[in-house]
Amino acid sequence: MRRSSAFPRILKNYFRVKPLSALLLALLVATVHFFDRGDASLGRVTQVIDGDTIVVTTEDGKSEKVRYLLIDTPELHHPTRGEEELGRIAALENKNLVLGKKVRLEEDVERRDRYNRLLAYVWTEGSGGEVLVNEELVRRGVAMPFTLPPNVRYVNRIRDAFREAREQRRGLWNAAAGRHFTGEQVWAELPTLAGCFITLEFRAARMEKKGTRHLLFEKKGHTAIVVYESDRPHLPSLDALASGKLVLVGKVQTGREGAEIILRDPTQIVTLGP
């Protein structure tokens, strides 16, 4: 969509109009700013699948399944893990933000994932202006950062929102605040804790590398902290993580080696010391 040739004249005369007209014009300018962007496509959200996936009907009538970039929300329809803690709440928050609304889909370097879903930053209009929905879900505590290069355009905004959620104990942070477990306890209670957010107290004794995953284990038990190779650049070194007592917040998952908690972002770390 191209701007009308009258648009520059509108701006030139902005301060010459009456106050009420100026207000209406300001709203018009904001609308043009939101929807008149050459680096994005427009559409309307027709379905919310879960906390980080939606269906959008674009302006040309095409239906696109869209996966939000840079975030990961608890599962709602996972074929093996089922519904995880906060999965339904994350989907509801997402629905309240976008369902039935016009959105702008901003792409990054890689356009699609292996499931052929469109990867995008999803923008909508809020009461205070533009809202980056990916960021807002993290700020509300129902999503975690999920950085996967080369799509990293707004990674700092996502991490800042995650820190804010932590400081305010929103969502997953509030859930994990009263749940303190050791690795042995997590393994013993895995059937109950799988899919839940906890605070883990951990002291690594050994490390293993399996493909793109680095696993830190304690001397006893079958609970591992998992660090993906793609996340290593923005985390403390593996040696630092293994050098002392580590307290972190994360979601318990059932893995091949037993219980797993994935460490993706430094904000998950509560303390790291001797």
What's 232's domain CATH number? 2.40.50.140
- Domain limit, last residue, from 172, 205, 238: 172
**Confidence (pLDDT) at 21:** 52
Token digits of residue 206: 């050994």
Same domain, yes or no, for 231 and 245?
yes
Could you tell me if residue 88 is inside a domain?
A: yes
Work out how many domains the chain is built from and give that number. Answer: 2
State the residue range of the domain holding 106.
Answer: 40-172
Same domain, yes or no, for 197 and 257?
yes
pLDDT in tens, 86-131: 999 999 999 999 999 999 999 999 999 999 999 999 999 988 899 9
List own/partner pairs for 130-134 with CB under 8 A and 24 or more apart.
130/33, 130/34, 131/97, 132/157, 133/68, 133/94, 133/97, 133/98, 133/103, 134/52, 134/68, 134/69, 134/70, 134/71, 134/158
Return all residues near 118 (Cβ < 8 A) that are at least 6 apart. Answer: 56, 64, 65, 66, 67, 105, 107, 111, 112
Average pLDDT per consecutive 10 residues, the chain (274 residues; last block may be shorter)? 44 45 47 50 97 96 97 89 93 98 97 96 92 98 94 96 96 96 95 96 94 93 93 93 94 92 94 89
**Confidence (pLDDT) at 82:** 81
Same domain, yes or no, for 168 and 194?
no
> The tokens 């793109």 sit on which residue?
212
Residue 59 DSSP SS3? coil
Same domain, yes or no, for 130 and 233?
no
**Confidence (pLDDT) at 39:** 55
- Domain limit, last residue, from 172, 195, 211: 172
**Confidence (pLDDT) at 274:** 82
Same domain, yes or no, for 195 and 221?
yes
**Confidence (pLDDT) at 128:** 85
d(CA 213, CA 33): 42
**Confidence (pLDDT) at 19:** 52
Same domain, yes or no, for 162 and 61?
yes
Could you tell me if residue 7 is inside a domain?
A: no
Could you tell me if residue 20 is inside a domain?
A: no
So which residues are the catalytic ones?
67, 75, 117
**Confidence (pLDDT) at 31:** 46
**Confidence (pLDDT) at 273:** 87
